[in-house]
Chains A and B, each alone.
Chain A
Amino acid sequence: MRTVFDRFRNEIIIISAVLTACLIATLSLRQPYCSYSKVIQSISSDYLYPEVTNPSKYIAGIEKVEYVINHPEPAIELYEAKIDYHNLIRLSGYEGYLNSYNSYEFNVESLILSNDAHQQYIVEIFRCERPDIDFFDRRNNEKYGFFTYIPRTYIRGGRYNIGLLVNEEGKEYIQWTDAVLEVE
């Protein structure tokens, strides 16, 4: 094998250069995409998480559901077709413990969106600092907040209930919130 490589070294170099050129050409022609689409995962409607039995030791909730840009300007409508950054929905919330005797691990792992037609989506969340929240024990880096972005076109239209997927002692439960997401 080594002798073959040695014999055709020039050719291999030229082929690698040609392949790289092709790769770059492909790269330049690639379609725009939205990387936030990977935070959404569709799950089977048959699979149901059990509801939380004892939510009193901590507090968690969805605070805000907002569209990133409601009315795109005509000048940038052109780009709307290319990329979905004008079509994002931001969900934000918080969680924390009411006293310092509990574990300091956060429980909320992700969000669950569920509509009447039994379509379910699991949505990844990102932690953020919330210095404005002051009623929790402050020993956990103040990262009480969480948020996520959902591309509007990646979920079907409808009215969704928002649930929090929480992890308690290694088991996953769902805790429904009052927040509702309506997608046209």
Chain B
Amino acid sequence: MYVVLLISIFVLLIMAILCYLVLSKQTVIAFSKKVILSGILIALFLSAIFPVYQVMTRTFHTDIVTIRTIPEVNESGEIRSETALCDVKANKWTNHIVEPIEGKWAWTGEYYHWNQYISDKTGNLTKEIKIPIPIGKDRELLFVTDPFSGYVEVEYNGKIERRSLYSDQYGRAVIIIEDSAEESILYDAFQRIALITVLSVVIFCICFLLIYIIGKTPLYSYVCRFRRETEIFLLFLIKIVLYGRYPGSLDYTNSYYFMNYEGGFSSRAILGEMINRFFGPYISSNALSNIKLVCLLSFYAFLSIVLVRVARILQDQKVAVFLVELIILSPFLSIEIIDDVRVDLFINLIFIICMILINKDRFLALVPPLCALMMLNNESSCVFYIASICLMCIYLAFVKKQRTYFTCGITSFLITSLLAIYYFVLGKTGLMDPTEAYLHGILHTDSITNWAAYHAEGLSIGMHLDSASFNFGEQLYDFALLKQSFVGWLILLPYLLLIVMLWRALFIHLSLDGDKSFRIIYLILPLSGFGAVLCMIIGFDYFRFFSFVFICSLSLIVSLAYQTNTRIELRDIRLFRIDKESSNENGGYVRFPILVLLYSAVIGQLDVWTNTSPIVVRTISIIDSITR
């Protein structure tokens, strides 16, 4: 698999070099070589991303495994009838369990589940299911073992293996499935390599041809005139393409679209309520996919317009582009992608509207209600957005010397604090019962809904903040979350370096000016975030948001300070001291931001907190192998 990847990367690199050589001979491109180069880079990434996704996540062929549950009656007459299939592993990768092709078990969001109670209640569960598993080697089926489980029988290739899943404690039982036939593995690998090659060539050719045709037409000069906008738009295109599988059928995130106030007040139900009111009561999976896709594209269009307008307002275009790239890379816009436009797209939209209202000094009275709307949508991740809004209000109150901004910031803060206290007192969901909400979900759609999502929302907020959510215990055991946090920070490092570069430029500038009071403030600024940063390391779930509050606020403060200090040039933003006379080209200094940008495009998502991200898992295993 890695060989295939390396070959494809090598092929792409050669193609890029060839393209560069061909294009550099043409005089017509001398005016704007950057446009062509960025186009080539984008073509490269487009052609690399699809194959990577194809290779890493799927095999073309599957084998069928039959799983049977066999209830067990113990000495006291109790029936142990539970069987839960929680994971399928093949080729050393954890694969998402796919739906059984024959038979039906209940899907709990994490595993397929059979027990007598659910079977009697629903009447449509079968004792036997057939599931497809990817062909390959090292294949395992993982079952849950607990005090309620009976026997399970796994049949593959005519061989039957029976295993007792009974255990005093919760755990996992592994049933190893024998390897597929060599010829089918080879055939599958061959098909994947062929697909990679075809996809790479086709996508590359399309992108190359488009750029070439544009270069030959009058449109080219038009594109050159708006090359910044084009670059920004293409940048968004990368993000959209990265999520080519979108709109996904992530059942966990889909469930949130069906969580509303029908069963009582809930902390994250406003989006579900709105969608249900407009499109309900029944929303098919197709309709849901369309709604999500339209939302995503509208959001990106809106964002592109806003960012391009911001870039045009600023005097120095290079600074503008730098800022725009900083905004794009910020965790604000990354999280929305991770959550698969569950709730954070909505929050991002409201956040941008709030920022525009504040900057334009229009309809400031709308800002506190909009903040409340954000809080109703997601009580935890909205915290860092609201912190930035309040910060912006306070900043403008001092700059413009208007009390209105201050009132706006304080009321926004108060109303969200009030809501936060309300959640803390009532518990996370208050009146909503997860069972009721789940029933509502499955009745209102044919798309897969996940019981775990409703269950998570049914948990009290206290559960997220109790001692179990601190990872001190786990740290003593195997430092699991500490390692995860460390990897998270490694992934975020390039973005943080951008902020450090800005901060350094400002600090040096202030030092040269001799403004001691401001210099001390800028020195204290990074130190102020230690408490918040520690939250990421010591705790889980909510703590990561407290940590992000600091990152977002810091990037906002530094960006504002940079924007107000127009005397600072782009050449001042760098990590190390470089002799100015040796390099007079400004373009040299934007290499790092561009590298960070491309890095972000490859990583795709700043998935810094879930241990399901392959990057995090892989990096942790490397750390483990080094430390042992």
A residues sitting closer than 8 Å to B (CB atoms) are 9-10, 12-17, 19-21, 24, 27-30, 32-36, 38-39, 68-69, 73, 76, 79, 82-83, 85-86, 88, 126-128, 149
Please judge, given known A-B contacts A34-B262, A82-B264, whether A28 and B368 are in contact too, CB under 8 Å. Answer: no
Please judge, given known A-B contacts A21-B415, A85-B440, whether A13 and B281 are in contact too, CB under 8 Å. Answer: no
What CA separation (Å) do A88 and B281 show in the bound complex?
13
Give the tally of cross-chain contacts (CB within 8 A).
Answer: 97
What CA separation (Å) do A69 and B443 show in the bound complex?
12
Report yes or no: B376 in contact with A24, Cβ–Cβ below 8 A.
yes
In the assembled complex, B377 has its CB within 8 A of some CB on chain A: no
Report yes or no: A35 in contact with B422, Cβ–Cβ below 8 A.
no
24 contacts between A and B (CB under 8 A): A9-B404, A9-B407, A10-B404, A12-B365, A13-B404, A15-B365, A17-B369, A17-B412, A20-B415, A21-B415, A28-B422, A30-B265, A32-B262, A32-B263, A32-B264, A33-B262, A35-B280, A79-B263, A83-B263, A83-B440, A85-B439, A85-B440, A85-B443, A149-B443
Please judge, given known A-B contacts A13-B411, A128-B284, whether A20 and B435 are in contact too, CB under 8 Å. Answer: no
In the assembled complex, B505 has its CB within 8 A of some CB on chain A: no
Report yes or no: B365 in contact with A82, Cβ–Cβ below 8 A.
no
For the residues of B in contact with A, the DSSP-based class is helix
Smallest Cβ-Cβ distance to B406: which chain A residue: A10
- The smallest beta-carbon distance between B533 and chain A, in angstroms, is 31
In the assembled complex, B236 has its CB within 8 A of some CB on chain A: no
What CA separation (Å) do A88 and B265 show in the bound complex?
22
Of B368, B414, B426, the contact of A16 (CB 8 Å cutoff): B368
Please judge, given known A-B contacts A10-B407, A32-B262, A82-B263, whether A16 and B366 are in contact too, CB under 8 Å. Answer: yes
Smallest Cβ-Cβ distance to B433: which chain A residue: A79
In the assembled complex, B194 has its CB within 8 A of some CB on chain A: no
- The smallest beta-carbon distance between B373 and chain A, in angstroms, is 8
What CA separation (Å) do A128 and B280 show in the bound complex?
15
Report yes or no: A17 in contact with B415, Cβ–Cβ below 8 A.
yes
Interface centre among B265, B368, B419, B444 (most CB of A within 10 A): B368
B residues sitting closer than 8 Å to A (CB atoms) are 121, 260-265, 276, 280-282, 284, 364-369, 372, 376, 403-404, 407-408, 411-412, 414-415, 418-419, 422, 426, 430-431, 433, 435-436, 439-440, 443-444, 446
Report yes or no: A39 in contact with B365, Cβ–Cβ below 8 A.
no
Q: Which residues of B contact A83 (CB under 8 A)?
A: 262-263, 436, 440
Please judge, given known A-B contacts A24-B376, A128-B284, whether A13 and B419 are in contact too, CB under 8 Å. Answer: no
- The smallest beta-carbon distance between A59 and chain B, in angstroms, is 23
Q: Which residues of B contact A36 (CB under 8 A)?
A: 281, 443
Report yes or no: A20 in contact with B281, Cβ–Cβ below 8 A.
no
Report yes or no: B264 in contact with A13, Cβ–Cβ below 8 A.
no
Q: Which residues of B contact A149 (CB under 8 A)?
A: 281, 443
- The smallest beta-carbon distance between B429 and chain A, in angstroms, is 11
Q: Which residues of A contact B418 (CB under 8 A)?
A: 21
Report yes or no: B366 in contact with A35, Cβ–Cβ below 8 A.
no
Of A17, A73, A126, the contact of B368 (CB 8 Å cutoff): A17
Smallest Cβ-Cβ distance to A25: which chain B residue: B422
Report yes or no: A14 in contact with B411, Cβ–Cβ below 8 A.
yes
Report yes or no: A20 in contact with B368, Cβ–Cβ below 8 A.
yes
What CA separation (Å) do A82 and B364 show in the bound complex?
39
Report yes or no: B263 in contact with A38, Cβ–Cβ below 8 A.
no
